[in-house]
Amino acid sequence: MIILAAFRLNKMNVRAVVLLVAFLLLFSLLFTRVGYIQVNKTVNGQELQAMAEERWTRKQAVEGKRGTIYDRFGDALAEEIPSYTLVAILDKNSRNRVEDPKLAAQKLAPIVERDPADLEKLLSAEGRFQVELGIGTKNLSLEKKQEIEELKLKGITFRKEPRRYYPKQNFASHVIGYTERDMSRARMGLESSLNDYLEKEDGFIQYLSDRKGIKLPNIEEILETPKNGYDVYLTIDANIQMALEQIMSQVEERYEPERMMAIVADPKTGEILAMSNRPSFNPNFYEEITNYTNFTVSSRFEPGSTMKMYTLAAAIEEGVYNGDELYQSGSYQIGGRRVRDHNQGLGWGKIPFDEGFQRSSNVAYSILALEKLGSDRLYDYLDRFGFRNPTGIDLPNEANSLIADSHRIDTATTAFGQGSAITPIQQIQATTAIANGGKMMKPYIIKSVVDPNTGKEVTKGEPTVVGEPISSRTANHVLELMHSVVTSPAGTGKPYYIEGFEVAGKTGTAEISNPDGPGYLAGHGQYIYSFMGVAPKSDPQLIVYVAVDRPKIEIYESGSAPVSQIFTSVMKHSLQYLNISPNARSGNRNFLDEGSLIGDYIGKDVANARASLLSTGLDVHIVGTGKKIVSQIPASNTMLLPNEKVILKTDGTTFVMPEIVGWSLRDVMKLASLLDLNANLIGAGFVTEQSIPANSEINKGDYIVIELELPNMSEEEFSPLYEDGEEDKKEIVTMD
């Protein structure tokens, strides 16, 4: 028994020892693991501190703001604004949920422009906590949000988020470009090229919280301040740009051209005051864009006869131009080819070179290029005028020219605007030399980039002289001849005449290469029609360039019709808006010196009102047989140029039709408005016929048919490049 008891005791001791050893091993392992964790502070590769911070730390984004793009006076053209996305709560456990999907859909549908049935289907979705309603319910304005809130629909709420907004719609759209609505990506224009300046960087606020997300007391916050994007100020003048956009849209609607482009610039500084293209687009709806090209900067084409300005300037500067010298117009043989003037090569007999410029004779400029200047000097002046290189304007994707200079015929055709291709902005830069006393100014559109937090300018655009290709004397001589293009009976620029202002300019009609074969397109309207004009001639303050590609003009209309409508409208508006007097001299921009500020004549005696207006040089027309004035056009406090028409309506009961032959379209519309006439207008320009004869009695609501024509309405006959029947000769027929 004793032996058995001893055996059992030994067995228990062994078990105890085994258990003790196992316990010691386990404890050692745990101690080692705890020690390892304490030293390394990681579990399964994850840092404990990071895990704790993730669980107890809250981090909220603090959004920055993308920089705003302004015009020269601080009018916003592109800005970040809050927008709202409509969200419907459907959770059945929520007190604020959509209870009547059909009613909610019916009330929302007209506001968001959706089918009620589609909305009802979305609002009736099963098993969803909340839903978004798609098209029409995203990027809502504050006004639209408030309109929906006024419905007081249960379960309808909003999510606020920033978006990019362009308040002036298709205003300078190719210049500004656009970003995606959430500003995640800048796509084109200045939005893209200046993205590094405009882009924002969001900040954050970080703090410790309990498990419910409530901030712990007496805990220091970490704040990373957001970085707002820089603001950009352009040289664009919103007033001039808006006037340009409006007339461009009107001309586009009427003539449906393939494309149009226009630039307004200050020749003294090189600042771009307005720039527009058609087709255009509204950057708020960028999905609808059909044209991504800023034609004024990124397209090159044969300029046509506007090129003759620079050839003329070169010949005058070199002392080889004699405006009184006669030459034989019509055609000119150059080796195996012949250049013809635009009137089917008939020409105008022997005429002086000055008249050749007015008539836009290709023969005259072939002779100047080949016999007077020579190829080397002509191309040297093209270099001086900057036609070999991009201007360097601060807009993206500027194209360069393509100058033809391999053969003798290239010299002649380049001199009058065919064969070589240049960009509109290159022409603007070159024309600043003519309009600015020989000093050529680099065009620019960015006035400054400003840090909105400090107000300091990060970068600034400044006037830059990039060359002096001609002297001041030559520039003035060219301006005089350009003025004669508009005022001379022989000039091709008569449609660009603006009453009261000295406009100097040059027309251009460029041929277009045939995309389906050799040669050029042919037929009425199958050209690029353009005009480069400056005003006032005595001290140019503005340059306006307009080009219209293949407008759908009537058989009786010339290509100048759409171009002149844009040019004259924008130039006159801009000159008046800038208070530039009709005969401005250097440093004088006071409109009142040469114009008139019309007073209020309503209620005044007819005779006295007429005498007062006539004394200021205005053209006064009285309608009605009464003694007192009851209405007037233009309204009081309107700036008028000498000889502009003022129409006064009296308190009489009988009204007679005035003689309006020779009146402008603008003045006709004044009369029709004042007398409540229904005017049916045929054509454009100046009145040639009126269906109600002068001195006939008229009544309110009468219909009148008015026919108008532009000056110089005879359509030039154009012919394409063709073989003349002799194997060694070719005809080159070009435009004006």
Rounded distance between C-alpha atoms, residue 194 and residue 179, angstroms: 12
The predicted pLDDT at position 624 comes to: 86
Task: Taking the CA atoms of 389, 393, 399 and 404 in sequence, report the sign of the dihedral they define.
Answer: negative
Give the list of residues 6+ apart from residue 298 with CB closer than 8 angstroms, or none: 397, 398, 399, 423
List the one residue out of 251, 194, 199, 205 whose CA is nearest residue 227: 199
The predicted pLDDT at position 486 comes to: 94
Selected from 3.10.20.30, 3.20.20.110, 1.10.3720.10, 3.90.1310.10, the CATH number assigned to the domain covering 66-199 reads: 3.90.1310.10
The CATH class of 596-640+644-709 is: alpha beta
Task: Taking the CA atoms of 234, 239, 245 and 247 in sequence, report the sign of the dihedral they define.
Answer: negative
Residues of 188-214 as b/e, b for ≥16 C-beta within 10 angstroms?
Answer: bbbbbbbbebbbbeeeeeebeeeeeee
The predicted pLDDT at position 585 comes to: 39
CA distances from 24 to 14, 32, 334 (A): 15, 12, 113
List the one residue out of 502, 553, 532, 355 whose CA is nearest residue 430: 532
The predicted pLDDT at position 593 comes to: 40
Give the DSSP letter string of 240-259. Answer: HHHHHHHHHHHHHHHH--SE
Give the list of residues 6+ apart from residue 583 with CB closer than 8 angstroms, or none: 502, 536, 538, 594
Rounded distance between C-alpha atoms, residue 549 and residue 256, angstroms: 10
Amino acid of residue 456: K
Of the CA atoms within 13 Å of residue 538, those in its CB half-sphere come to: 13
Instruction: Please measure the distance between the N-terminal and C-terminal CA atoms of the chain and give it in whole angstroms.
Output: 139
Give the DSSP letter string of 407-445. Answer: SHHHHHHHHTT-S-BB-HHHHHHHHHHHHTTTPEEPPB-
Q: What is the mean pLDDT of each run of 10 residues along the chain (736 residues)?
A: 58 71 76 65 59 58 83 92 85 80 86 85 81 80 83 84 88 93 86 92 65 60 76 95 93 95 97 96 89 95 96 98 96 93 91 96 97 96 97 96 94 95 98 97 96 90 96 97 94 91 94 81 90 95 97 88 94 89 44 58 87 83 87 75 81 85 79 79 75 86 77 37 31 48
Q: Is position 305 annotated as part of the catalytic site?
A: yes
The predicted pLDDT at position 3 comes to: 56
Structure tokens belonging to residue 674: 């004042």
The predicted pLDDT at position 49 comes to: 60
Of the CA atoms within 13 Å of residue 511, those in its CB half-sphere come to: 25
DSSP secondary structure letter of residue 132: E
The predicted pLDDT at position 332 comes to: 95
Amino acid of residue 32: T
Output Rg (C-alpha) for the chain, integer angstroms.
38
The predicted pLDDT at position 712 comes to: 46
Catalytic residue among 83, 305, 329, 420: 305
Give the list of residues 6+ apart from residue 161 with CB closer than 8 angstroms, or none: 82, 83, 84, 85, 182
DSSP secondary structure letter of residue 178: E
The predicted pLDDT at position 717 comes to: 32
Structure tokens belonging to residue 207: 């703090």
Give the list of residues 6+ apart from residue 6 with CB closer than 8 angstroms, or none: none
Say if domain 239-577 classifies as CATH 3.40.710.10.
yes
Rounded distance between C-alpha atoms, residue 108 and residue 154, angstroms: 12
Rounded distance between C-alpha atoms, residue 631 and residue 603, angstroms: 8
Rounded distance between C-alpha atoms, residue 252 and residue 285, angstroms: 20
Pairing of strands 697-698, 272-278: unpaired
List the one residue out of 195, 173, 395 whose CA is nearest residue 283: 173
Give the DSSP letter string of 346-396. Answer: ---SEEEHHHHHHHT-HHHHHHIIIIII-HHHHHHHHHHTTTTS----SSS
Rounded distance between C-alpha atoms, residue 385 and residue 378, angstroms: 11
Domain ranges of the chain: 2-59, 66-199, 239-577, 596-640+644-709
The secondary element (H helix, E strand) that includes residue 724 is: none
- For tokens 């003694």, the residue is 627
CA distances from 43 to 35, 38, 52, 336, 457 (A): 12, 10, 12, 91, 52
- Determine how many CB atoms are found less than 10 A away from the CB of residue 288: 8
Degrees to nearest 5, angle at CA 707 with 701 and 710: 135
Give yes or no for a contact between 716 and 691, defined as CB atoms under 8 angstroms apart.
no
Structure tokens belonging to residue 222: 């970490």
Give yes or no for a contact between 505 and 536, defined as CB atoms under 8 angstroms apart.
no
Rounded distance between C-alpha atoms, residue 355 and residue 365, angstroms: 12
- Helix ranges restricted to H, 125-169: 142-149
Rounded distance between C-alpha atoms, residue 119 and residue 239, angstroms: 43
Rounded distance between C-alpha atoms, residue 450 and residue 243, angstroms: 27
Whether cis (ω within 30° of 0) applies to the bond prior to 515 is no
The predicted pLDDT at position 588 comes to: 37
Rounded distance between C-alpha atoms, residue 587 and residue 721, angstroms: 48
CA distances from 85 to 50, 97, 114, 254, 346 (A): 35, 17, 15, 39, 69
What string of H, E and C letters represents the secondary structure of 558-620?
Answer: CCHHHHHHHHHHHHHHHHHHCCCCCCCCCCCCCHHHCCEECCCCCCCEHHHHHHHHHHCCCEE
Chain centroid, CA 62 distance in Å: 34
